Amino acid sequence: MTTITIDPITRLEGHGKISIFLDDAGNVADAYLQIPELRGFEQFCIGRPVEEMPRITTRICGVCPEAHMMAAAKACDAVYHCELPRTAKLLRELLYIVFFVTDHSTHFYALGGPDFVMGPTAPKAQRNILGVIHKVGVEIGKKVIGMRGACHDIIKQMGGKSVHPIGALPGGMSKGMTKEEQAAILAKGKEAVEFAKFSIGLFNSLVLENKEYVDLILSDSFTHRTYNMGLVDAKNRVNFYDGDVRVTGPDGAELAKFKPADYLDHIVEHVETWSYLKFPFLKNVGWKGLVDGPDSGIYKATPLSRLNVSESMATPLANEEHDRMYKTLGGKPVHQTLATHWARLIELLYAAERWVELASDPEVTGPDYRIVPDKTPDEGVAVVEAPRGTLFHHYKTDEKGLLREANLIVGTTNNNGAINLSVKKAAQGFIKNGQVDDGLLNIVEMAFRAYDPCFGCATHALGRAPLRVSVHDHRGEMIKDLRR
C-alpha cells in the first residue's frame, strides 16, 4: 500500500492536504481532502457587541471579507428587526457586487485559470498568475491588475478599507455616496462589463476551442450528480445579496425553497475524525457517507450550483451566456465540476451588469444610508452568496445586543463533501498502475480548485471569557476594574 500526499494543496485560500491511497496494483483505493486547522471564531465572538460582528468576522477570510461583512450586517439587521432604507440596500449591494467582480476575476486569472492557460501539466513553476502574464502578455496582465485594483479602490472608498472593509453596520452603511463618486463608479462599471466580456472571450478561445480541455470538462472523472444550493430572487434568478435559498436535486427538480431563518430545518453538519472541517448535508435527504446521487444529502453550493438552482440570470448579457452554456452542455442541471469555471465567468458578467444598474440608480446617493434600530435585539439569521457558496450567519444576543451564541456555515464548508467526492474521483480517473507525477497530481488538484475553496473561511470555528482587566492611568493609578 502506497500513500501519496499533496501538502499543502495550492492556489486556493487556506490550508488543506490530499492523501491518496494506492492499492497493490498502483490504482487509487481511496482519497481524502483533509483540513488541518480550526481558529474558533464562533466561540470568541461570544460577549462581543453585535454591531462589531461585521468588523470581526471579516477576519475569517481576507479573500472574501466582504461576504462576511454583509452576512454579519444583515444578521445584525435581523437581530434588531430593522428594515433598511432603499439607499442603504443599494449601497450594500453595490459594494458587494464590485467585490464579486474582483473575486471572480482573481480566481479566473490567478487561482483556477493558470491550469487552463498554462496547461494542467505545465511545469509547476509556471502554473501561476505570473506565468499567465508572461504567456498572455503584459498588456492583458495590466488589464487584469487594473480591474482588480479599481474594484479594491471602490471597496476602500465605500467601506473604508480595501481588504477587511468596515462600512456595514446594523441599519445600513457608515458613509453615503456623492454624485461625483457615483459617476466615477458607474464609468468603472461599464469598463467592468467590457472586462467580463473579454474574460469570457478568453475562456472561449483558451478552453472551449481546445478539444482536450472540453473532453476533460465533460469527462466522468470530473462529474458528480449531487444536490445544488443557491440564493434566488422572487423570480428564481441568481442573486448574491438577498433572497430565498433554493435546493434542487440531481435531476433539477426543486427539493426545497426556504427563508434564511429556517436553515436549521434543512441543513445538518456531520463530523468525521479525519478533518477539522464539518460536512453539511441536507437534513431531509440524510447523510449516507461520501457518495453522490439522489439518496445522498451531499450538495454543492458553487457558481455552477447557483445557476443550476435558478431559472435565469437577472441581466441580459449574462442571461445570453447562461443559455449558451446550458445549450452547449445539454441543459440543466450541469454536473460537470469543471464547468464551474464557466459558470463563474457568467456570474462575473452578471456582477458587472448589475454594478452598472445599481450605480445608475439615482437613490444610491440618497441621504438616508443608515437608520438607527429601535427594537430590542434578540436573534437573527442572514444569508448571502459568498463567491464560493451560500454563507449563513446566525446570532443570538442578550437585550443589550451582546452575543450569546453565533453559528456560521460558510461557503466552502457546504462543499466539503462534494470536494472530497471530486478529489477521489479525479484521483481514480488519472492515477493508474502506480504512474504518478506532478502534472497528474495537479489534475487531481484541479478537482478542488474548480470550487475556488476558501478553507480559511471554513475553519473559523466561540465562550464567555471571565477575564478581568484593571485599567490604570498613566500615573499608575487604577481608574477602572473592567470585567466580563
Partner 1 sequence: MAKPKFAIYWAASCGGCEIGFLDIKEKILDFDAAAELVFCPCLMDTKYSDVEAMADEEIDVTLFNGGIRNEENLHLAHLLRRKSKVLVAFGSCATEGCIPGLANLSTREDIMDYVYRRSPSVAPGNTVLPQLETETPFGKLTLPAIHENLRTLGQVVDVDYFMPGCPPVEEQIWAVVEAILSGKLPPKGSLVGVNPKTVCDECPRTKDVKKVKAFRRPHLVSLREIDPEICLLEQGLLCNGPAIHAGCGALCPRVNLGCRGCYGPAAGIQDVGAKLAGAIASVIDSDNPAEIDGIVDQILDPVGTFYRFNLAGSFVGRRVR
Site residues for partner 1, 409-438, by CB under 8 A, read 409
355, amino acid identity? W
Q: Is 178 in the site for partner 1 (CB under 8 A)?
A: no
- Bridge partners, 483 (sequence order): 468
Q: Is 108 in the site for partner 1 (CB under 8 A)?
A: no
Q: Is 3 in the site for partner 1 (CB under 8 A)?
A: yes
Q: Is 160 in the site for partner 1 (CB under 8 A)?
A: yes
Q: Is 375 in the site for partner 1 (CB under 8 A)?
A: no
Nearer to partner 1, 409 or 431 (CB): 409
Max intra-chain CA distance, the chain: 76
Tell which positions 30-59 bind partner 1, by CB under 8 A. 30, 32, 34, 36-44, 47-49, 51-52, 55-56, 58-59
**Of the residues 211, 215, 400, 437, which one makes contact with partner 1 according to CB under 8 A:** 400
Q: What is the dihedral of CA 449, 455, 457, 459, to 10 degrees?
A: 160
Q: Is 330 in the site for partner 1 (CB under 8 A)?
A: no
Q: Is 297 in the site for partner 1 (CB under 8 A)?
A: no
- Of 83, 11, 70, 51, the closest CA to residue 411 belongs to 70
Question: What letters, b where the CB count within 10 A reaches 16 and e where it falls short, cover 284-308?
Answer: ebebeebebeeebbbbbbbbbbbbb
How far apart (Å, rounded) are the C-alpha atoms in residues 67 and 71? Answer: 6
Q: Is 185 in the site for partner 1 (CB under 8 A)?
A: no
Q: Is 212 in the site for partner 1 (CB under 8 A)?
A: no
Contact 383, 390 (CB under 8 A): yes
Residue 386 main-chain phi, psi, to 5 deg: -75, 160
- Binding span for partner 1 by CB under 8 A among 328-336, 353-361, 397-405, 421-429: 397-405
Nearer to partner 1, 270 or 324 (CB): 270
Q: Is 170 in the site for partner 1 (CB under 8 A)?
A: yes
C-alpha grid cell, residue 378: 434578540
| Element containing residue 91 per DSSP (H, E) | helix 86-106
Nearest approach in angstroms of CB 252 to partner 1 is 26
- Binding span for partner 1 by CB under 8 A among 214-222, 225-233, 261-269, 336-344: 261-269
Nearer to partner 1, 97 or 457 (CB): 457
Nearest approach in angstroms of CB 186 to partner 1 is 21
Tell me 44's DSSP state: H
334, amino acid identity? V
